[in-house]
Structure 1
Amino acid sequence: MGEKKWNATTGRWEIDGVPITYRVTWKSIDTGEEHVRDFNDIDQGYDFYQLMQRDAYSIKVTWDHVPW
C-alpha cells in the first residue's frame, strides 16, 4: 500500500488513487447493536468520533481510516 497523498482536484486524501474514508464504529448500550458511520471529510468524521466518545449510551467507539 502506498503513501497517503492529497488530491487537489478532488479535495480528498488518497492512497494509491483510492479516496480515504473515515469510519466511526460504536456499540449501543441500550440495544447492544453495533453501528458504523463513514465520512469523506476528516474533520466531520473526527468531530463525530469525539461526540460518540462522550455519549453516555455508546461504548467501544473506534476511529479508522479505510482503506488502511
Structure 2
Amino acid sequence: MPEIAEVARIVHFLRLHLVGKTIKKVNAIDDNNVFGKAGTTGQEFAAALTGKKVVDAGSQGKYFWFALP
C-alpha cells in the first residue's frame, strides 16, 4: 500500500502531464476478476475511455483518481 506522500506525488505528476490531454488508445485485458463484478468487459472499458479528455486528478487518502467528462 502506498504512503500518502507517494500518492500526492503521483497526483502532482498527473496534473502536470495528464490533465487536459485526450486518451488516444486503451489496452484492457478482458479479466473477469477486474471487470466481471462491474458487468462489463475489457473491450467495453477500452471503448468507453478512448477519446475522453482528462479534466482533473485528485486523491482521497491513499487512493488517486482522475476525472473524465
Q: TM-score range by the shorter chain?
A: under 0.3
Query: Using CA pairs below 8 Å that are at least 6 residues apart, which structure has the higher relative contact order?
Result: 2
Structure with the higher fraction of residues in helix conformation? 2
TM norm structure 1: 0.26
TM-score (norm: length of structure 2)? 0.26
Higher strand proportion, which one? 1
